[in-house]
Structure 1
């Protein structure tokens, strides 16, 4: 598994945990990352989700 795909997986997991109501500190602890990185991970996951949704709408 490449570093990038591992990071993307953690980003997606971070977003799911945030949607479940966990705090940034709890997410960082669960994913074993520094808490300062959680916000950027959430942003990346949101951007990927929006991009995927836009592609889905374009193909429909």
Structure 2
């Protein structure tokens, strides 16, 4: 029927956007150039991945 349906992998995208927008500079566009804002988004994603990787490697030992 019609109504709200959860898409199979949609939660992954939504979670990723939630993680990125936790960073204040990613939640608002303070940068003058689009390239600068893109760099901030890359920085936030790299920071998130390294923190997750560090957390999993320390608990696996």
Which structure carries more helix by proportion? 1
| TM-score, structure 2 as length reference | 0.49
Q: Between the two structures, name the one with larger relative contact order (CA 8 Å, sep ≥ 6).
A: 1
